[in-house]
Amino acid sequence: MPAPPLPPAPWLVALPMPAPALDFLPPHGWDAAQPTPLGYRVLVPWRGGLGVGVVVGVSDTAGRGRLREALHLLDAAPHIHPAFVEGACSLSRLSRTPLGLLLSDFVGVGWEARYQHQVRAVAGADLSAFGRAVPGAEWQEAGQSSALLLDRIREQGLLDERFGPWPRTVIGYRARPWDALPAELKQRESWQASDQGHLPLTPKQQVAWEWLRAHGPVWRLSDWSGGAGVGGAVVRAVMGRGWTRSELGEASPPPAWEVLRLRGPFASQAAWAEAAGVPPSAVARLLASGWAESVQVPAVRPELPPAASSVPRAGNDTLPQEAVWRLHGGRSAERFARLAPRLRRLLRLGRGVTVVAPDGATLRGAWEELSGLAQEVGTRAVCFSGTLNEVQREQAWALVQSGEAGLVIGSALALCAPHPDLGLVVLLEEASDAHKLLSGSRAFVPDLALRMAAAESIPLALIGCVPAAESLVYPGEVLTAPRQRLHVVDYANPPEQAELGPLSSPHLRPGDLGYPISHDLGKVLRQVAERGRQAALLAPRRGYSALLRCTSCQHTPGCPNCDVALRFHQERRALHCHQCGYETGIPDRCDVCGDPMWQARGPGTEWIVQEVKKLLPGFPVYRHDRDHQDDLSALSAGAAGVVVGTQALLSLACPPNLALIGVTLADTWLNISDFRAGERYHRLLRQLLGWHPQRAPLTVVQTFQAQHPALECVLQNRDAGYYPALEARARQDLGYPPHRLLTHIEVAARDRQKAAQAAQEVADTLHGAGASGPELLGPAPSPLARVRGVYPYQLLLRTRSEERLDVLLSSLDRRFSARVRVDLSPRGMG
């Protein structure tokens, strides 16, 4: 006797919530021999209703308890790429981040599924015990019964269900059939001349009557009066005196109705009116009188961003063939031109390519340079990011899922794009901090991309202006750096200048360089104004100044919720905390000594705009930061002017006539407690040098650290990989990436003592699990000792391998007296 077939293994299903994947049995009737539908969406019973989840694997909990059945697979092909699922599961396990939270951060479409749902009672089942409004023996819409009631019946196995697609529809308009039109619409009154009038006619009325006798019948009085050359009152008087007779005849349908009948239905009255060549009011009258009716029609495909018309020049593919490779240096157009042959070859083979950008500016540049390749080789390119609306995202995703679109260029949301045959993932600017999610899972996109590529041996390309120190282990190429015109103002070593002493003998003293706009920068700004050119000044911060300080006792007003000074915003005369948003007015006197005098320190965008307007009276000066965005359309059109902004300026297109870039205080990017500060500063300099697509504007850097290696290697025309290599060597003795895995553990509570005790408890737990002194640093208060009323403490783990890290982190899989958060790829920390 053959052995009975084995039941299918339970599925792991992740729902879009901060929770791990949950166990569900496959849908009733699922064949255990079928492969697990990894990456497919599935409907599951959830909280008394139905929820949409993603199948992420097979559970090993068979036989350990009663499980609910999944109800229906929503997709005919994976909704997210299986390699992404495997990479996300790997990252979730190591980082202790709930998989549902990770997926909800990266999957930007499909969680709100549209489907038809019908139910009925299982044959022979009596559902009267559940109440009155229960399904009967015939199929009915599920919405006719309570979702909670249906779930109770479902749980007892007494409910049959069937699901189907529910396409998007809109209210449209179609012509009513001629036979269905009311009789009064199909008949029409006409007028003919009569000899039976009972009152005499005036001369004008006589003219109108004679015209009607010669040209009648007429269907419209306006045709009669117009043909006879008289007014409407005249023809109405002829009718009133009995000199006309009316007749009913079959009316000819309006031309707009014929258009609707032949070419309809139309999704809007405007579309109908445009097709018929009549004003919208005319079709509105036809609709109101009954010539047309409103119906549900399939929604028109939404318009997606059009691909660029330009195509990179053809060339040979000389890029590396390894699993992970890199291309850095040069200008962005040069890098895309080198990448284009590889993309062209893959797309011609029918393989998919996903390009992921960290920010809007990089995304726009990639779309303009690469999207035209798709049409050239017979496929489509789609741009996928949060800027699309829900309907556009659904449409773009469907094109990728079906294989109709082979090239996807987008934000981190595009990383999981479900190409049927994915041939390459391109990660742009892998060193950018913009790849770090600031909330939710706090994942770092390059980490996830590397895991995804390794899961199914998908090639991964790292492309940008500067390589990350961690990327140097991969083979690749560094292009020649763009021509640079760089001038450094060294505030720490001003030139000496002669001065007459008390006895009229000359001696030397340090010269005044000018601050926040140095004399050198001011001189070049005047030249920009004289020649009608453009300049961009990069400020260290938004607002007017970093702080206000009492001139007597040096007291600085601080935030009551955070251990930071309040920033001064002159435009709204307020002190503002850039951490928690707290805001207050400027105090009249110092809270400590009572002195009424305040001194602003640390210039921001408002201060620098004020200085530029003093320097260049009447010259256009613009500001661009998070608080204030001037209209820069004039600059974009080539008009003269100066724009002052934070680093957000680099997210905009470079002004076409840019002649000067000024970094008003470069030390802002260095004076932070982060081992990546130098790397970040170097990348900023390279971005500025390559911001203009063709020219090399003069770049003036004002700094107190003119001998910093990041600046010196740019001045010495070193290639883009030189400084990251210096950084990698310097970090070897410190045990920092790329030589060790660095993991940041934050322990936080609203009570300082509780947070400190919990942090020490975490450290003791790690030491108990075998963490050595060199592996574990801390605990210590964070550089910001209090943020939004919470006291964060931090620990750093420096491990040689993921296996070792997993062993140590597994000891933290329990509850502590404070919040514990693990970050595998910390950015912007001490």
Whether residue 643 contacts residue 681, with contact meaning beta carbons closer than 8 Å, is answered with: no
Lowest-pLDDT choice from 31-45, 356-370, 596-610, 774-788:
596-610
Phi and psi, residue 64, nearest 5°: -95, -5
Where residue 329 falls (left for φ over 0; alpha for ψ -120 to 50; beta otherwise) is left
Residue 230, C-beta contacts closer than 8 angstroms, at least 6 positions apart: 204, 207, 208
Name residue 325's beta-bridge partners.
461
The greatest distance separating any two alpha carbons of the chain, rounded to the nearest whole angstrom, comes to: 130
pLDDT at residue 512, rounded to an integer:
64
Peptide bond into 265 cis (omega under 30): yes
* pLDDT tens digits, 182-194: 777 777 777 788 8
HSE (CB half, 13 Å, CA atoms) of 209? Answer: 22
Higher-confidence residue: 815 or 453?
Answer: 453
Where residue 163 falls (left for φ over 0; alpha for ψ -120 to 50; beta otherwise) is beta
Rounded to the nearest 10°, the torsion over CA 617, 621, 626, 628 is: 70
Which of helix, strand or coil describes residue 266? strand
**Cα(436)–Cα(825) distance, rounded to whole angstroms?**
8
Structure tokens at 121: 């009672």
Angle at 374 between CA 372 and CA 376, to 5 degrees: 75
Whether 501 has a pLDDT exceeding 60, the answer reads no
Averaged pLDDT for residues 750-770 = 91
Cα dihedral 82, 88, 89, 94 sign: positive
- Quote the strand ranges of 392-524, DSSP E: 405-410, 422-428, 460-464, 476-479, 485-490, 496-500, 506-510
**Cα(71)–Cα(44) distance, rounded to whole angstroms?**
6
Scanning 202-331, the segments in alpha helix (DSSP H) are 203-215, 221-228, 232-240, 255-263, 269-276, 280-289
Q: Give the number of other CB atoms < 10 A from CB of residue 359.
A: 17
Lowest-pLDDT choice from 488-502, 642-656, 802-816:
488-502
Whether 503 has a pLDDT exceeding 50, the answer reads no
* pLDDT tens digits, 192-228: 888 888 888 888 888 888 887 888 777 677 777 888 8
pTM as predicted: 0.84
Instruction: Look at residues 625, 618, 649, 617 and name the one whose alpha carbon lies nearest to residue 635.
Output: 649
pLDDT at residue 5, rounded to an integer:
60
Which of helix, strand or coil describes residue 440? coil
Which of helix, strand or coil describes residue 281? helix
Higher-confidence residue: 599 or 724?
Answer: 724
* pLDDT tens digits, 358-385: 998 899 999 999 999 998 888 999 999 9
Structure tokens at 324: 């992970």
Structure tokens at 1: 């006797």
User: With 0-12 CB in 10 A as exposed, 13-18 as middle and 19+ as buried, what is 753?
Assistant: exposed
Amino acid (one-letter) located at 591: D
* pLDDT tens digits, 423-455: 999 999 999 999 999 888 999 999 999 999 999
pLDDT at residue 4, rounded to an integer:
58
Which of helix, strand or coil describes residue 354? strand
* pLDDT tens digits, 605-652: 888 898 899 999 999 999 998 888 888 899 989 899 999 998 888 888
* pLDDT tens digits, 707-748: 999 999 999 889 888 999 999 998 888 888 898 999 999 999
pLDDT at residue 393, rounded to an integer:
93
pLDDT at residue 62, rounded to an integer:
56
Q: Parallel, antiparallel, or unpaired: how do β-strands 11-14 and 22-24 relate? A: antiparallel
Cα dihedral 87, 93, 95, 100 sign: positive
Name residue 793's beta-bridge partners.
747, 781
Tokens 């059009």 found at? 306
Averaged pLDDT for residues 526-533 = 92
Instruction: Look at residues 175, 241, 183 and name the one whose alpha carbon lies nearest to residue 208.
Output: 241
Structure tokens at 103: 């997926």
* pLDDT tens digits, 246-274: 777 666 788 888 888 888 888 888 888 88
Whether 502 has a pLDDT exceeding 50, the answer reads no
Averaged pLDDT for residues 145-173 = 87
Averaged pLDDT for residues 351-356 = 95
Amino acid (one-letter) located at 447: D
Whether 288 has a pLDDT exceeding 80, the answer reads yes
Structure tokens at 526: 């005047």
Mean pLDDT over all residues of the chain? Answer: 87
pLDDT at residue 2, rounded to an integer:
54
Structure tokens at 704: 């107190």
pLDDT at residue 597, rounded to an integer:
67
Peptide bond into 516 cis (omega under 30): yes
Structure tokens at 715: 């001045």
* pLDDT tens digits, 66-117: 788 899 999 999 999 999 999 999 999 999 999 999 999 999 999 998 889 9
Whether 420 has a pLDDT exceeding 60, the answer reads yes
**Cα(756)–Cα(116) distance, rounded to whole angstroms?**
54
Amino acid (one-letter) located at 784: L
**Cα(718)–Cα(713) distance, rounded to whole angstroms?**
5
